[in-house]
């Protein structure tokens, strides 16, 4: 479904990703975890080319794109990959001048050129799915953070992407509001939505992810089934990181 092969990403002289190779199966949920600056968000953004890899290969479904240093990638090729993905951002990034339903409709109407009536029908169905149909005509400023993130999830799902990408989807929310988002993403996972998420939220990752990739300093330190990586990690670096996450979760709950 998704194949990342020998992905390198440089920002100037800083090598952020160092030959990362990861395969993600259709219908699975994969959590990218690791310390801040470890490369997880950069890797996630390389999947839909919000960050252009310096070298390596990205494959989503039937679409494959190869990157080489100094070789510019055509915009149409980038668009082919991006059309396979939906993106949920840490800080929601809803259009403040559009209502909830208009936010969900926007890409359908302006990018995919869907008739407005069909786009509205699709948007309302998705708002219903994430428990936000009753707020369809609300402005983003009147919504809680959890409600805004649920609208953002509906917007990302609107064009029926092959994979939903989530960049720290709960980190801007307090625990109660974060739980709303965890429940929505959990339901999508149970329905077989392919997801890749960069997160340090242990509750989110352990609840819905089947696979975990632990990144540190731009390298895959450990990867495998979530139950193994979280409960019986092999690498000492992974053990220390999981222990720190558990301690952080315990402090939040106290």
Rounded to 10 deg, the angle between the 145-157 and 175-190 helix axes is 20
Tens of pLDDT, residue by residue over 106-156, are 999 998 899 999 999 999 999 999 999 999 999 999 999 999 999 999 999
The whole model's pTM is what?
A: 0.93
Work out the number of other CB atoms within 10 angstroms of the CB of residue 139: 15
Q: Does domain 2-84+162-253 have CATH number 3.40.50.720?
A: no
Residue 252 scores a pLDDT above 80: no
Structure confidence at residue 254 (pLDDT): 58
Tokens coding 156: 């990302």
Asked if residues 205 and 31 have their Cβ atoms less than 8 Å apart, the reply is: yes
Work out the number of other CB atoms within 10 angstroms of the CB of residue 125: 14
User: What is the chain's Cα-based Rg?
Assistant: 18
Q: Mean pLDDT across the chain, nearest whole number?
A: 93
- Domain range annotation of the chain: 2-84+162-253, 95-160
């Amino acid at each position: 479904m998704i194949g990342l092969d020998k992905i390198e990403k440089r920002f100037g002289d800083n090598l952020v990703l160092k030959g990362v190779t990861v395969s993600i199966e259709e219908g699975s949920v994969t959590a990218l975890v690791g310390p801040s600056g470890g490369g997880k968000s950069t890797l996630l953004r390389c999947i839909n080319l919000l960050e252009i890899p310096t070298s390596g290969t990205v494959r989503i479904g039937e679409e494959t794109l190869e990157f080489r240093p100094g070789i510019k990638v055509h915009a149409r090729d980038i668009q082919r990959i991006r059309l396979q993905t939906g993106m949920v951002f840490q800080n929601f990034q809803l259009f403040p001048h559009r209502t909830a339903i208009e936010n969900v409709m926007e890409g359908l109407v302006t990018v995919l050129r869907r008739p407005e009536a069909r786009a509205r029908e699709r948007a309302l169905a998705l708002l219903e799915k994430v428990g936000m149909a009753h707020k369809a005509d609300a402005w983003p400023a009147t919504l809680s953070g959890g409600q805004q993130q649920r609208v953002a999830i509906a917007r990302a799902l609107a064009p029926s992407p092959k994979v939903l990408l989530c960049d720290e989807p709960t980190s801007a929310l307090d625990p109660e509001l974060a739980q709303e988002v965890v429940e929505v993403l959990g339901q999508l996972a149970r329905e077989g939505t392919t997801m890749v998420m960069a997160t340090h939220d242990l509750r989110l990752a352990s609840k819905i992810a089947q696979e975990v990739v632990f990144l540190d300093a731009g390298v895959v330190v450990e990867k495998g089934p979530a139950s193994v990586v979280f409960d019986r990690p092999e690498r000492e670096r992974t053990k220390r990181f999981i222990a720190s996450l558990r301690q952080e979760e315990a402090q939040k709950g106290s």
